[in-house]
Structure 1
Amino acid sequence: MEISSGQMKADVDDGKVCLKRCLGFFDSVCFLVGCIIGAGIFVSPKGVLEYCQLNVGVALCIWAACGVVCIMCCLCYAELGTSLPFSGGEYYHVKRGLGSLPAFVTIWTLILFIRPASNAARALIFAEYISRPFYSGCPPPDLLKKILAIGILWVLGVINSKSIKMSTWVQNIFTVLKMMSLTLIIVYGMIELGSNPKASEPFRNAFDSEVPNAVQTAESFFQGRYAYGGWNYLNYMAEEIKNPSKNIPRSIITAMCAVIVFYLLVNISYLTVLTPKEIVSSAAVSVTWADRTIPSVAWIIPVSVAVSIFGSLNGGMFMLGRLNYAGSKEGHLPAIISMLHVHYLTPAPAMIISTIIASIFVIPSDLISLTNYFGFSSWLLVGLTCVSLVVLRYREPNLERPYKVFLPIAFGVIAVSIFLVLAPIIQSPKVQYLYALLFMFSSILVYIPFVHFKLHIPYFDKITCHLQLLLEVSPTDIFEDSKTD
C-alpha cells in the first residue's frame, strides 16, 4: 500500500527519483582519504613499534606493507565497482556473486553491529578531544561525552539527509584540514632531520634491533591496518560517482598512494623528535611530539585529531546510509529504507535509521568494546567479496569490465583475509569470538521467514504509507546504469 513514486516526485526536475551521479574525481579522492585518515595515524605508531620490538626498520616496513595490502584489496574492489556501479559495496557484490543468504549475513553484521559501533566509537573519541581543553588535567565527564557524541551523530545525520552536496562539502573541507595537519607534522620533522644531526640516529641502523617473531609481526600488522580502515568505503557510493569506470580506479590509486606516503613521512617525523622508547611509553604520540616541537601551540594537535575524526565520522555516516539503502532495494530490509526524499534526493530514511542505531551504541558505551571481537568479520567480508569477484569472472564472463584486476592479486587478498580471520582467534581464543559468530549466524533465523518465505507482517503496509507521508519520501525509479558522465 505504499504511495507510488509518481504521486510524490512532482518537485523532481527530470521526473526521476534516484540517486544522482554528482561526485567527481576530487570529491571521490577527498571522501576516501577523509574516511581513512582518522585517529589511527595519531595512535597506531605506538602499537606498531611496540610489537616490532622497537625495530624502526621493521616498523616502517609494516606501515608500507599494510598500505600495499590495502591497495591490493582496493584493486579488487575497483573491478567490482566499475563493472557493478551500484550502492552497497561488499553487500551488493557478495549478493551478486555468492547469493542472497551470504549477503544477508553480511548486511546483518554490518548494519546492526560493526558500522554503528564504529561510528559511535568515533563520535565518543571526538567528544573527548573536543571537551578535553575545558578539563585540563582531568578527564571529561562520561555524561558530557555521551551527550556531545549523540549530538554530533545527529548533526551529521541531518547534513547527510538534507544534501549530498553539503555532506560532500563537509568531507572535502575536513579532508583538506587534516592533510594540512599531517603536512605540519611532516615539515617540522624534515626541518629537525636537516638541522639536528641526532635526529637521524634511529635510521642509521634501523634494522639492528631485535627482529620480531611471526606472532609479533602479525600483531604489529593488526595495529597498522587499523589506521588504514575505510579503504573500502568508495564502493558504497559507486551509484553516485560520475563516470565510475574511470573515476573509481583513479580515485582509489590516488587516495591510497597519498595515504601511504603521508603515513610513512609522519612516522619518520615522530622518530626524528622522539626515540622509539619514548614513542612506546607515550599515551598519545602526536601530543608528546607537539609538546616537544611546538609547545606554544601544542593545542593544534588535539584539534587536528578532532578534525580528522570528524571527517572520518562523516564518511562513515554517509557510507552506512548507502548500505541500508542498498539492502532495502534488494529486499533484505523494509521498503521504506530504500526510499528517497522527493526534494533532496537523499536516502533520508536510511540515514535516520543509521543515526538511531549509532546513538543507541553510545548510551551503553561498553558495547563498543565488543567490536574488537568482530574485527575478524571485517576481513571475512573482504575475503567473501574477492571470492565473489573470482566467481563472477567465471560465471559472467561477458559482464562489461572497464577495469580488470590481475587475478592472482584477488587470490592473494583471499589468502591474507583467511590469515587475518584465523590469526586472532587461534592466537588468543576467547568466548567472545564465539558470541560474535553466533550473532552473525543468528541472521539466518530472520532470513528464513522474512526473506526466503516472504512472511508478511499485518498492518506493515499502512505503517510504511504513513511514514512516506511524514518523511516525504518516494520509491526509487529503476536505476539506469550510466557508466559515463
Structure 2
Amino acid sequence: MSNTERQPLLEPGSQRNDVQAISNRDIPVYPDSLPGPAYGKSLTWWSCYIIVVSRVIGSGIFSTPGSIATSAGSVGLTLLVWLFGTILSACGLAVSMEYGCMLPRSGGDKVYLEYTYPRPKFLASTLVAVQAVALGFTASNCVIFSKYTFFALNAQPTDLQYKTLAVGLLTAITIIHGFFLKTGIYIQNTLGWLKIFLIGAMSLTGIWVLLLHFFGWAIDTSAPGSSQTTIESWDMLWEGSNWSWSLLSTALFKVVYSYAGLSNVNNVLGEVQDPVGTLKTVCPAALLTAGGLYFLANLSYLLVIPLDEIKRGGELVAALLFERLFGDVGRTFFPLAIAISAAGNVMVVTFALARVNQEIARQGFLPFQGFLSSSRPFNTPLGGLIVHYVPSILVIALPPQQDIYNFILDVEGYPGNIFALAVAVGLLILRYKEPDTPRPFKAWLPAVWLKVLVCITLLVTPFIPPPGGRGDVHFFYATYALVGIGVILFGIIYWYVWTVLLPSRGGYKLEEAVETLDDGTPVTRLVRSYYSH
C-alpha cells in the first residue's frame, strides 16, 4: 500500500457514522474514536512520570535477582546480564518513542501493530486481543504477596496454602474492583504511596551499604554453609559462570520484565498534554530512575548477601537483605511491607487490564460482547475483570509451587518478545515505505537493529538445551516457549476461522459498524455483509 492510499487513524473525538466508511478503512476503529465522551488532555508531565515509574518499579527488583543469579552463576555475569538487559530495554524504549511521536494516540503497541500490518485484515488486532486475554494476568505479584507474607510471619506453609493465599488475594481484589469502584481506587492509591516508601528505603539502603564499604566498615555476611563469594571477591568475580544461551536468555527475560512498563505512557497518549514533548522526556527520565534504583538494589544484595544464599533465596532475596541489615525487625516489617506493595501492584494491574479487556470486547474481538463491554450494574468493567480473573487463577493453581514464579515470568516474556520483534521490524518497514512521515523522534538505527537481533536470539535460545538439560524450572526447559508459541498459533487459527473460513463458507464478509449499548457504551460491532447473488 502506498502512502497516499493509507488513511490516517481517526483523531480522538472524531466520528464516522456510516458503516461503509468504517468498513473500508485499513485501520480498525479505536475506542477513542467512537461516539461518546471524548477524553480530555488531563495528564501533565508529572502525571505521566508517575504513571511510568509506578508501573515499572514493582515486585521485579524484590524477587527476580535470585533467579537471575541462579541462571548466571557468578557475580560478574549477574551484573553483566542486568547491564545488558538495561541496554536492551533502552533500545525497546527508543522504538516505542519513535512510534509514539509518529502516532501520538492512545493504545501503545496495539496501535503500532495495526498501523504497520493492516493486512491480513483483523490479524494484528486478533493476535493482540488473544495475547492480552490469554497472558494478561497478574499471577506473579499474587505469588510474591503469598511468599513474603508467610516469610514475614515465619511460617512454613504447604504448596496448597501458598496457592490458596495467592488465589484469595486475587479474588478479593476482583470483588473490590468489580463492586466497589471508589473503594478500590482509594485502596490502590494508598498502597501506591507505600510502594514509593519501599523504593526510597531500597535506594537509601544501597547508598548506606556503599558508604559502609567505602569507609571500610564491613557487614558480617557469614552464615552456616555459605560461601563468601560477594561483589567484593574480585578474584572470584566470574567463578561459576553459566555461559549457556538457554539460561542467559531466561535471565534476560526477567531483567526485561523488571523494566516492563517503560512505554506505559504510550497507552494513554490521547489524554496527555503535549504528547510528543512529554513522551520525549518522560520515558528517558523514568529509565534513568529505574536503572539507578536497580543498580543500587543489586549492589546491596551482592555486597551484603553471599551469592549462594542469593541463589537459594529465590523470590525472597529482598527479605534476606533486610533481615541481615535490620535483624528481626527487618525480617518481619520489610517483607510484610513488600507483600502489601505486591498486593497494591495487583490492584493497579487488575484495574488497568480489566479495562483493556473491556476495550477489546468493544472492538468486537471477544464473544459475549454485550456483557463484556458493558459497565453495568456497578459502573465497573465487571466482564473485563472476569476475563482477567480466569487465566490468572489457572496460572497460579496449575504449575508446581516451587516453579510458579519463574514459569509465569518466562511464559509472559516469550510472546511479549514476539510482539516486540514485530514492532521493531515494523519500524524498519515504515522507514522504508513511509520515509516522509513526520518523526519528531527517531530511534538510533543501530539500537533498532540491536533490538531486532536480540529479540530473535531470545526466541531461539530457549530451545538450546542448558547444561544438564534443565533450566530454572523442574520440567522441560522450553515449556514456556512452547506455551508462548501455542498462544500465538491459537490466535492465528482463531483469526482464520472467524474472518476467513466461516465468511467464505457463509457467503459474507465482516465489516465494522458503530453501535451504542443501553448504558451508553459505544462499541464496534463486527457485522456480516452478505454478497448479492
Scaled by the length of structure 2, what TM-score is found?
Answer: 0.72
- 1:417 Cα deviation after fit: 0.8
Q: Which amino acid aligns with 1:221?
A: L
Query: 1:151 Cα deviation (Å)?
Result: 0.7
Tell me if structure 2 keeps the 8 A contact 1:19–1:239.
yes
**1:306 counterpart residue number:** 339
Give the Å deviation of 1:374: 5.2
Q: Deviations over 1:246-299 (max 9, x none)?
A: 112212111111111111111111222222233223342211222211014212
Q: Deviations over 1:333-385 (max 9, x none)?
A: 4765896869x9x9x44xx3332123223444334756444532110100101
Instruction: Map residues 347-362 of structure 1 onto 2, 5 A cutoff.
Output: 348-349=380-381, 352-362=382-392
Report the alpha carbon displacement of residue 20 of structure 1 after superposing the two structures with TM.
3.0
Q: Deviations over 1:412-441 (max 9, x none)?
A: 211111111111133466466445434322
| Aligned match for 2:193, one of 166, 173, 179 | 173
Q: Who is 1:73 aligned against?
A: 92
Q: Tell me what 1:9 maps to.
A: none
Verify the 8 A CA contact 1:22 1:241 in the aligned structure 2. yes
Matches within 5 A, 1:467-478: 468-469=517-518, 472-475=519-522
Mapping of 1:254-403 within 5 angstroms? 254-283=285-314, 284-298=316-330, 299-321=332-354, 323-324=356-357, 327-328=360-361, 331-333=364-366, 348-349=380-381, 352-364=382-394, 365-367=396-398, 369=404, 371=408, 372-373=410-411, 375-403=413-441
Share of identical aligned residues, percent? Answer: 19
What is the CA–CA distance in structure 1 between the aligned matches of 2:484 and 2:434, rounded to whole Å? Answer: 34
Shift of 1:63: 1.3
- Structure 1 residue aligned with 2:106: 87
Q: 1:242 to 1:468 in 2, by over 3 A?
A: same
Aligned residues, how many?
A: 448
Contact 1:52 1:59 in 2 (8 A): yes
Give, in whole Å, the separation in 1 of the partners of 2:479 and 2:147.
Answer: 31
Relative to structure 1, the CA distance from residue 253 to residue 374 in structure 2 (aligned partners, 3 Å threshold; closer, same or farther) is closer
Q: What one-letter code is carried by the residue in structure 2 that aligns with 1:60? A: L
1:27 Cα deviation after fit: 2.2
Alignment of 1:55-204 (within 5 A): 56-99=75-118, 100-116=121-137, 119-130=138-149, 133=152, 136-138=155-157, 140=161, 142-156=163-177, 169=189, 173-198=193-218, 202-203=231-232
Partner of 2:260: 229
Match of 2:51 in 1: 31
User: What amino acid is the match of 2:329?
Assistant: V
Matched residue SS, 1:202: coil
Q: How far apart are 1:75 and its partner, in Å?
A: 1.0
C-alpha spacing 1:240/1:127, structure 2 compared with 1 (3 Å): farther
Of 412, 434, 442, the residue aligned with 2:490 is 442
Secondary structure of the 1:294 match is: helix
Task: Show structure 2 runs of 5+ residues with no match.
Answer: 1-14, 18-34, 221-229, 467-476, 507-513, 525-533
Separation in 2 of the partners of 1:394 and 1:408? 16
CA RMSD, Structure 1 to Structure 2 (Å): 3.9
Partner Cα distance (1:326, 1:360) in 2:
18
Partner of 2:66: 46
Task: Give the match for residue 32 of structure 2.
Answer: none
Deviations 1:199-246 (A, max 9, x none): 597336266433542535444434433322333433222223222101
User: Residue 87 of structure 1 contacts residue 323 of structure 1 at CA under 8 Å; is this kept in 2?
Assistant: no
Structure 1 residues 44 and 120, CA gap change in structure 2 (3 angstroms): closer
The amino acid of 1:403's aligned partner reads F
Q: Letter of the aligned partner of 2:111 in structure 1?
A: Y
Q: Name the residue aligned to 1:483.
A: none
Shift of 1:132: 5.6
1:300 Cα deviation after fit: 2.8
Matched, 1:248 2:279: yes
Shift in alpha-carbon separation, 1:231–1:52, aligned structure 2, 3 A: same
Q: Deviations over 1:3-40 (max 9, x none)?
A: x999xxxxxxxx96133332222222222222222222
Query: Using the alignment, how far apart are the partners of 2:48 and 2:419 within structure 1?
Result: 23
